[in-house]
Amino acid sequence: MTMTSNLIRQSASAIVDKLRTEEITPLDLLDALEERIEEVDKSVNALPTLCFDRSRANARELMKKPVAERGRLAGLPVPIKDLTEVEGVRTTYGSPIYADFVPERSDVMVTHLERDGAIVYAKSATPEFGAGANTFNEVFGATRNPWNTDRSAAGSSGGAAVALATGMAWVAQGSDLGGSLRNPASFCGIVGMRPSPGRVARDPGVLADDILAVEGPMARTVEDVALLLDAMSGEEVTDPISLPREQRSYLEAARTPGRLRKVAFSPDLGITPVDPEVAETCRRAAYRFAEIGVTVEDAHPDFNEAHETFQTLRAAGFAASHAQKLKDHADLLKPEVIWNIEKGLKLTMADLVRAQTKRGEMMKRAHAFFDDYDVLMTPATIVAPYPVETRYVEECGGVKFATYIDWLAIAYAITLTGAPALSLPCGFTSEGLPVGLQIVARPRGEAKLIGAAAQLEKLLDLGTVNPIDPKTGRDGPQADR
């Protein structure tokens, strides 16, 4: 086994341990990543922008410090989603409008990570402005699912998920509004976590108090997600909703989880159709908790008004963030983005008041639900990976969706509650494609969520920690375990 293949198969936690003992250096890791990217990314298009000169320069500066002063990540390389600005690195937002944009400063989330020992080496692919849960854009083209390159990687953190699944990253940063961390994690067989709003500080942009969109960690295991969340979390004065770090690390929560009493499973949250095979795979996984003495019941809060509420709040956000782009560059925007902006511009004050009121009611019901249950589990996505040429899921179970985001309801309903949620690999379809289980905890309950996910991950023992080589439809999407 070559040094590269040996390194990429190790967990992020193991890699950081080796960095701290100086058994390996950040430069060794960058060399391994550059070799692996050259080998596999042409098949999946996950990391369209590389910055190895910048990363090696930063690694050398970090290595001048004593090991104890190199931060939690100690020089671990991290790719950054192409919606987030990195100083001196092309950042396109997946849009022709920004095809040649090179920012002069980094987002506060990036500077925060770099202070804690992260080495940024690439930008990961995203759909235009993160809109739509299929990662393609007019700048770089489509990102493909490595389990079957004829299929979608979902989105909008699709490039990050694919990079992890194929060994082009040990951990990755992503972001989530309506499932953008959870959907690609489900489709690609890795772990993606949406933290509570404020847990990860970021540049607030035009929506300074936004609690729908968050930044979060992705990795191949729960423990590695916890490792990255420890580095990502913490208060920053420039983000008015950012939260202080918790006293107990999330890595410790993954390694020594607390005991669970009672958990809930819902195949559909009462609001969406779900592919029967996906639903059954998730149900079997959720009920494995019974093997360690945890009571498992079918239950969920009332989410009946989630569709209207999320559609309204999302549209308002798109109008606030992108209305000027529609005015100046309508010919360069994809139809789905135009639709969302126009919908937002047509909203009335009454529409916004109703949406905010209904969101508040859903939050109260969710808090009450978690008085009775430690976590809630659902499918992370309602279908298995679909053909990459399909822009979005138009129907499921005989139900035709009205918009390009309706199929994401099982994820965006949770977004509205402010609760942290995680997609955990929980099985495979009859075609060998990954299925993710969404696990949700009380708002600001990241430690409990991570602990619960770590326990179930151990029970399921799917071997998804191992990176795979991309498979075409002819090869069949089988894991290299």
CATH number of the domain bearing residue 376: 3.90.1300.10
Strands 136-137 and 141-142: antiparallel
Measured between alpha carbons, how far is 388 from 145 in angstroms, rounded to an integer?
8
Q: Taking the chain, what is the end-to-end CA distance rounded to the nearest angstrom?
A: 15
Q: Is the peptide bond before 156 cis (omega within 30 degrees of 0)?
A: yes
199: in domain: yes
Residues whose CB is less than 8 angstroms from the CB of residue 420 and which lie 6 or more positions away in sequence, other chains included: 193, 194, 195, 196, 199, 440, 441, 443, 444, 445, 446, 449
113: in domain: yes
Residue 379 tokens read as 């499918």
Q: How confident is the model at residue 110 (pLDDT cuts 50, 70, 90)?
A: very high
Tally of domains within the chain = 1
pLDDT (average), residues 123-148? 97
The burial class, CB within 10 Å (0-12 / 13-18 / 19+), for 149 is buried
Residue 477: its pLDDT value, please? 46
327: in domain: no
Measured between alpha carbons, how far is 77 from 70 in angstroms, rounded to an integer?
13
Which residues are marked as active site?
81, 156, 180
Q: Is 304:270 a contact under the CB 8 Å cutoff?
A: yes
411: in domain: yes
User: Which pLDDT tens digit goes with each residue over 144-201?
Assistant: 999 999 999 999 999 999 999 999 999 999 999 999 999 999 999 999 999 999 999 9
Ramachandran angles phi, psi of 262, nearest 5°: -150, 135
Cross-strand partners of 452: none
Residue 479: its pLDDT value, please? 39
How far from 133 is each of 26, 45, 55, CA to CA, in Å?
33, 16, 29
Looking at residue 82, its amino acid is: D
What is the dihedral sign for C-alpha 101, 211, 189, 27?
positive
Strands 295-298 and 141-142: unpaired
- Name the one residue in this structure whose structure tokens are 């699944």: 165
Residue 193: its pLDDT value, please? 99
Cross-strand partners of 423: 192, 438
Measured between alpha carbons, how far is 228 from 72 in angstroms, rounded to an integer?
9
Residue 464: its pLDDT value, please? 80
478: in domain: no
Q: Taking the C-alpha atoms of 259, 262, 266 and 270 in order, what is their torsion angle to the nearest 10 degrees? A: -130
pTM here?
Answer: 0.97
183: in domain: yes
Helix (H, G, I), strand (E, B) or coil at 78: strand
278: in domain: yes
Residues whose CB is less than 8 angstroms from the CB of residue 214 and which lie 6 or more positions away in sequence, other chains included: 175, 176, 194, 195, 196, 197, 199, 200, 202
Res 4 pLDDT > 90: no
Residues whose CB is less than 8 angstroms from the CB of residue 208 and which lie 6 or more positions away in sequence, other chains included: 240
- Name the one residue in this structure whose structure tokens are 């956000």: 317
- Name the one residue in this structure whose structure tokens are 């808090």: 367
Looking at residue 403, its amino acid is: T
Residue 3: its pLDDT value, please? 78
336: in domain: no
Domain of residue 156, residue span: 3-308+348-460
